[in-house]
C-alpha cells in the first residue's frame, strides 16, 4: 500500500538549515535518520552524470556554487556526479528537481526515465484496469501523434478524444498512461462508483502530492494544486493529467464536469475521453486563452480501419486464439486469412469492443454452426445476437434468468452470486448459470471473497436499457429497483 509522507516530516534541505549549519558539509552519516521508501530516492545514470558535469560547467558554475543556487548540499551534487561512494541509496527527488531548475535540465536528463517514473506509482485502483485495457493493444499511432502535436504547439490546454462506445477510448487513455508514467490519471467508472467530483479531486491530489511532494495541499482545490505543481516543474517538464470517460461523471448542478479549471498554468495539459455529446452536455467551458482540441475517432475511418485489421491479425497469430480461429476459417468455403480479416473488419464497424468479444467467441467454438455471412454486424448487433443465442427471446420467456441479468444491471456495483440471488429472489444455482452464460460480458473481481461480478462495459448496460429490449424481455425496471431498495433498507451489505 502506498502512503504519503507529510511534508512536515520530510528531511529539511541541508542548505535551508539556519546558519551556521548551512555552511557545513552534509555527509550521509549526519543526515536525518528518516525512513524513506526506495522510490523517494533516485540515482543518476552514467549518461546523466556526464550530462550534469557538462551542464554546470557550461553554466559557469562550480559544484559549490551549483549547490548554493540549488539550495542543496555540495555532497548531494557529488553523489549525483558519482564522486561519493558512501551514500549508495541515491539522492532525494526534490534535490534533483532543484538542481535541474538551476541548469535548465529535465530530471530525466540526469536520472533514467524508468527510475524517475517507476511504474508502481500508478494508483492501485487503476492498475488492473490499465493492464486489462492494454493487454492486446495495437495501433492508434495517429491519436498519439495528434496529442504530441498539440502539446508541441500549445503552452497548455485540453485535448479531448471522442468516440462511440467500444471504439477504444479507454484503451488509448490506458496506453498513454502506461507509456508515459509521468502522467497523472483518473478513470471514471459508473459501475464502480468511481465517478464523483470529490473522489476525482481526492485521487488527483494524492497523486500530485506524492509525485511532487507538495506542501499544504490537503485542502487545495484543483487550480491551486496545478499552480503548486507548475512551480515544481523543471525545464522541459510538463504535467499531463489523463481523465477517461467524462460522460460517466455523476455530478449535479452547473459548472464544468469534475470542476475542471477554465484556465491552466503553462506546461499543464489534460487528455480527456468521452462519448459524443450535445452542446448542452459538454460542460467544459474554457477561457479563450486556454487552447483545446478534439479528435473524433468516427471521423478518422481509414486510420481506425487500419488499426482494426492490425488487431485482427494480432489475434490470428496469438497462441491463445490462433488454433480456434484457424479451425473456424478452414471450415468456411475457400476463405483465406486475408479475406477473414477484411470481412471481420467490415462487420466490426471499427469497433474494438466488437472484436474483443467476437474473435474469442469464434476461437472458442461459439459460432461453429454459423457461416461468415451470419456473424453479427456491429457492437449492437453482437449484443442482440448473443441475447437471442442465450435464449432470452424464446417462448415462454426465461423470466428468472432475464430478471437476474437486469438485477445485475440495476445494482451497478459489483456484487457476489449470493447478493444477486438475494435481490433477484432466485436460487444461487440459477444465478451461477447466468454468470456462466454471460461470462464474456462480466468482470470477475476475485480479490473479494466470495468473488463479485459486474458488467465489463457500460455499452452492454445501455443495450439492456433500450426500450424495445426492455419491452421484449417483459421486465419492469421500476419494480426491480423498488425490490433492491427494499433489500438495502434491511442492511444487506453489498
Global pTM reads: 0.76
Higher-pLDDT residue of 146, 369: 146
Range name among 23-37, 293-307, 364-378 with the lowest pLDDT average = 23-37
Cell numbers given for 302: 481509414
Please, how many CA atoms are within 13 Å of residue 352, restricted to the half-sphere of its CB?
Answer: 27
Question: Does the pLDDT value for residue 22 go beyond 70?
Answer: no
Would you place residue 220 in the very low, low, confident or very high pLDDT band (cuts 50, 70, 90)?
very high
| pLDDT of the residue at 281 | 86
Mean pLDDT of 403-411: 87
Average pLDDT over residues 326-332: 93
**Tell me, what's the pLDDT at 388?**
87
Tell me how far the alpha carbon of residue 222 is from its chain's centroid.
Answer: 19
Q: Is residue 15 scored above 50 in pLDDT? A: no
Over 90: is that where the pLDDT of 90 sits? no
> What percent of the chain shows pLDDT beyond 70?
88
Q: How high is the pLDDT of residue 118?
A: 61
Task: Tell me the C-alpha to C-alpha distance, in Å, between residue 63 and each of 29, 71, 99, 197.
Answer: 20, 12, 11, 47
pLDDT in tens, 109-137: 899 877 887 654 678 889 889 998 998 99
Q: What pLDDT does 162 receive?
A: 97
Q: Is the CB of residue 244 less than 8 Å from the CB of residue 170? A: yes
pLDDT at position 494 over 60: no
User: Angle 301-316/322-331 helices, nearest 10 degrees?
Assistant: 100
The predicted model gives 196-216 an average pLDDT of: 91
CB 270 within 8 A of CB 264: yes
> Is residue 102 within 8 Å of 70, Cβ to Cβ?
yes
pLDDT at 341: 96
Confidence class for position 88, pLDDT limits 50, 70, 90:
low
Position 492 scores a pLDDT of 45
Q: Which three cell numbers stand for residue 134?
A: 492494454
pLDDT per residue as tens digits for the range 275-314:
999 988 899 999 999 999 999 999 999 999 999 999 999 9
pLDDT in tens, 437-465: 888 788 888 888 899 988 878 888 888 88
The predicted structure's pLDDT at residue 252: 87
**Local confidence band at 322 (pLDDT 50, 70, 90 cut-offs):** very high
pLDDT band at residue 391 using 50, 70 and 90 as cut-offs: confident
Distance of CA 402 to the CA centre of its chain: 32
Q: How far apart are CA 490 and CA 158, in angstroms?
A: 46
Beta strands in 120-256 (DSSP E): 157-162, 184-187, 239-244
360 band by pLDDT with thresholds 50, 70 and 90? very high
- The larger pLDDT score, comparing residue 190 to residue 161, is at 161
Per-residue cell: 224: 491551486
pLDDT of the residue at 385: 87
The answer to whether 438 and 432 are in contact (CB under 8 A) is no
Amino acid at each position: 500500500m502506498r502512503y504519503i509522507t507529510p511534508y512536515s516530516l520530510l528531511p529539511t534541505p541541508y542548505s535551508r538549515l539556519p546558519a551556521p549549519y548551512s555552511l557545513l558539509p552534509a555527509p550521509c552519516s549526519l543526515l536525518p535518520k528518516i525512513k524513506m521508501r526506495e522510490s523517494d530516492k533516485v540515482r543518476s545514470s552514467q549518461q546523466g552524470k556526464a550530462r550534469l558535469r557538462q551542464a554546470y560547467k557550461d553554466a559557469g558554475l562550480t559544484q559549490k556554487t551549483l549547490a548554493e543556487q540549488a539550495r542543496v548540499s555540495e555532497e548531494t551534487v557529488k553523489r549525483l556526479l558519482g564522486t561519493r561512494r558512501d551514500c549508495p541509496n541515491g539522492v532525494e527527488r526534490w534535490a534533483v528537481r532543484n538542481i535541474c531548475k538551476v541548469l535548465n535540465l529535465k530530471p530525466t536528463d540526469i536520472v533514467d526515465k524508468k527510475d524517475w517514473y517507476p511504474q508502481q506509482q500508478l494508483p492501485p485502483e487503476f492498475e488492473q484496469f490499465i493492464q486489462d485495457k492494454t493487454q492486446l493493444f495495437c495501433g492508434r499511432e495517429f491519436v498519439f501523434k495528434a496529442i504530441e502535436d498539440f502539446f508541441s504547439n500549445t503552452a497548455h490546454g485540453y485535448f479531448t478524444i471522442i468516440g462511440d462506445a467500444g471504439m477504444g477510448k479507454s484503451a488509448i487513455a490506458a496506453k498513454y498512461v502506461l507509456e508515459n508514467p509521468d502522467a497523472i490519471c483518473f478513470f471514471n467508472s459508473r459501475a464502480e462508483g468511481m465517478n464523483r467530483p470529490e473522489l476525482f479531486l481526492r485521487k488527483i491530489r494524492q497523486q500530485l502530492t506524492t509525485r511532487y511532494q507538495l506542501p499544504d495541499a490537503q485542502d487545495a482545490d484543483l487550480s491551486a494544486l496545478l499552480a503548486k505543481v507548475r512551480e515544481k516543474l523543471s525545464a522541459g517538464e510538463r504535467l499531463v493529467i489523463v481523465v477517461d470517460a467524462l460522460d460517466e461523471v455523476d455530478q449535479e448542478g452547473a459548472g464544468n464536469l469534475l470542476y475542471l479549471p477554465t484556465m491552466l498554468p503553462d506546461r499543464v495539459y489534460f487528455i480527456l475521453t468521452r462519448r459524443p455529446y450535445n452542446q448542452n452536455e459538454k460542460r467544459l467551458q474554457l477561457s479563450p486563452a486556454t487552447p483545446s482540441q478534439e479528435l473524433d475517432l468516427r471521423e478518422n475511418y481509414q486510420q481506425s480501419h487500419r488499426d482494426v485489421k492490425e488487431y485482427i491479425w494480432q489475434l490470428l497469430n496469438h497462441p491463445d486464439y490462433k488454433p480456434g480461429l484457424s479451425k473456424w476459417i478452414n471450415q468456411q468455403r475457400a476463405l483465406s486469412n486475408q479475406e477473414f480479416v477484411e470481412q471481420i473488419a467490415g462487420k466490426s464497424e471499427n469497433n474494438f469492443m466488437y472484436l474483443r468479444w467476437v474473435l474469442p467467441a469464434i476461437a472458442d467454438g461459439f459460432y461453429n454452426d454459423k457461416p461468415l455471412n451470419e456473424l453479427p454486424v456491429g457492437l449492437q448487433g453482437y449484443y442482440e445476437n448473443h441475447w437471442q443465442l442465450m435464449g432470452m427471446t424464446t417462448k415462454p420467456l426465461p423470466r428468472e434468468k432475464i430478471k437476474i441479468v437486469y438485477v445485475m444491471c440495476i445494482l451497478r456495483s459489483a456484487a457476489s452470486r449470493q447478493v444477486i440471488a438475494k435481490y433477484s429472489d432466485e436460487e444461487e444455482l440459477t444465478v451461477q448459470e447466468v454468470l456462466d452464460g454471460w461470462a464474456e460480458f462480466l468482470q470477475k473481481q476475485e480479490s473479494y471473497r466470495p468473488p463479485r461480478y459486474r458488467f465489463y462495459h457500460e455499452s452492454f448496460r445501455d443495450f439492456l436499457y433500450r426500450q424495445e429490449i426492455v419491452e421484449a424481455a417483459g421486465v419492469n425496471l421500476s419494480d426491480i429497483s423498488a425490490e433492491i431498495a427494499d433489500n438495502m433498507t434491511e442492511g444487506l451489505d453489498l
